[in-house]
Amino acid sequence: MKIIQIIYSLSSGGAERFVVDLSNELANMGHDVTVCMLLEDNNTRLTFNKKFINNNVKFHAMNFDKGFSIHKSDLLQAYIKKENPDIVHCHLNVIPYVFRLCLFYRHIKFFHTLHSIAEYTFDSKLQYYFNKFYYKLNLIRPICISKLCQKSYEDLYNLFNAPVINNGRAMPVVSNKFLAVKKEVECLKKNTTSPVFIHVARFSPEKNQQMLIDSFNALFEEGIDFVLLVIGSGYDSETGKQLQKQACKNVYFLCEKDNVCDYMLCADAFCLTSNYEGLSITLLEALACGLTPICTSVGGIPDVIEDDITGYLSPNQNVGLYVKNLKRFMTRPLNKDYLINYYKENYSMDICAKKYEKEYIKSTCCKNN
């Protein structure tokens, strides 16, 4: 099949990395795949994940500036009509660009992955009604990434046609920087047994990094030995700098990295203190590296993590409870091999891509639209 994956940018977010991994895997399965990025590709911040696209996947940038317009929609639709794919798969909130095309080019099948709960996947009340129209008629076929996302979709739209396909992640591989990273992390440890925690996320309110720092500051005040690595963009903002000043000396802010796997393989546990999540790609990457997840029980996380089996869950955004789970990990780390096998059996990208392929094939067999 000829497939176009459409997304705003290839910045360092989880949805962006998912699109790259899915495209790579679908191409490896023999499909003709193009990643179409709407924004300009001369901005390194917007193309962070482009370097991970395999050679057998094509790349196309529309080079739009920010903001929707009918003219931009016309340009994208002209590109799609010229390429004439079997499948157009939209990610994040790009579907307004293809609304008109869906109506008149029924031989092309359109999909939309909702990468978060449904309430966060559109910009206005008007778009809500457009979305419902297209979803209801299967002019755009919705896909949810977790059971919670599916429930939010059903509650919001009163529609029951969105299957769940759990996010997947390609098996991470070490880079040629691994030995240097290993030495770097070892130098940060007080002794060889110091537990290393890692948090990988951009600095933003929904990631609730304030709770993360408060929790590790509490550990530090108790005299407990640890290292916390914080990797991601945005910590150089004014509020990000304030957070860095609040952090104890055992917390290290390492900025954005294109070799996160190297750091994960040098760590012991993965920390998420989010207020909400869809289904975190970095969580799946951490499992693939054998790290014990220590997370707040929000969004799609409980679909992945069973407390005391595949990680440790805090029921709410309470620092005391999160600190308790950090201590649980330090007294009872989970088996790395078990976590890696759990990832392989449930969240590897080859499993995820086969499920998407099945939905694609099913849509092309439908004679209705």
* pLDDT 10s digits, 19-68: 999 999 999 999 999 999 999 999 999 999 999 999 999 999 999 999 99
Over range 99-108, report the average pLDDT. 96
Asked if residue 304 has pLDDT above 60, the reply is yes
Q: What is the CATH number of domain 2-170+348-365?
A: 3.40.50.2000
Over range 355-362, report the average pLDDT. 98
Per the DSSP assignment, residues forming a β-bridge with 253 are 230
**pTM assigned to the model:** 0.91
Instruction: Answer yes or no: CATH 3.40.50.2000 is held by domain 178-346.
Output: yes
CA 57/CA 35 separation, integer angstroms: 7
Give domain limits for the chain.
2-170+348-365, 178-346
pLDDT at 47: 96
Question: What percentage of the chain has pLDDT greater than the value 70?
Answer: 99
CA 167/CA 174 separation, integer angstroms: 21
Side chain identity, residue 114 = L
pLDDT at 277: 85
CA 45/CA 23 separation, integer angstroms: 20
User: In what helix (H) or strand (E) does residue 363 lie, and over which residues does it extend?
Assistant: helix 349-365
Confidence band (pLDDT; 50, 70, 90) for 299?
Answer: confident
Give the contacts of 23 (CB within 8 A, at least 6 positions apart).
Answer: 3, 5, 33, 34, 35, 53, 54, 57
- Listing DSSP states for 133-158 in one string gives HHHHTTSEEEEESSHHHHHHHHHHH-
Q: What is the pLDDT of residues 202-222, one digit of tens each?
A: 999 999 999 999 999 999 999
Over range 270-289, report the average pLDDT. 94
Q: What are the strands of the beta sheet with 87-91, ordered from one edge?
A: 58-64, 32-39, 2-7, 87-91, 109-114, 140-144
Over range 188-195, report the average pLDDT. 95
Tokens describing residue 101: 């095309």
**Do 2-170+348-365 and 178-346 agree at the fold level?**
yes
pLDDT at 369: 55
Asked if residue 2 has pLDDT above 70, the reply is yes
